[in-house]
Amino acid sequence: MDKQIELYIGGRTYKMTVEQNQEERLMEVSGYLDKQIDVMRKATGNSVDRDNLLILTAMMMTDELFNLKEKDEKAQKMLDALHNNIAERIEGMARKIS
């Protein structure tokens, strides 16, 4: 069942209709966005207009996302290398046994 919720982001309230199982996640995401906007507002000393503040915040959050993606890719490469190393060791042991 759909539910109407209010999200507070960047000094404004937005009404949205969401599926009930999405409400908690959307509240969490919008809360994070609101905090990041506030961080950027403080960093700029309230010297930029709302549109530029939102663009700067989006750039900061996109940079965070890219950093996380890079870390994930590096971790995946390490796991792949470890998997290959273990597979090679197992194959070596299997050759010794047979």
d(CA 35, CA 48): 17
Number of compact structural domains in the chain: 1
pLDDT tens for the chain, residues 1 to 98: 789 999 999 999 999 999 888 999 999 999 999 999 999 999 999 899 999 999 999 999 999 999 999 999 999 999 999 999 998 889 888 888 87
pTM of this prediction exceeds 0.75: no
Query: What's the CA angle centered on 22, arms 66 and 69, to 5 degrees?
Result: 10
Structural domain containing residue 76: 2-97
| The CA-based dihedral angle spanning residues 46, 52, 55, 60, taken in that order and rounded to the nearest 10 degrees | -30
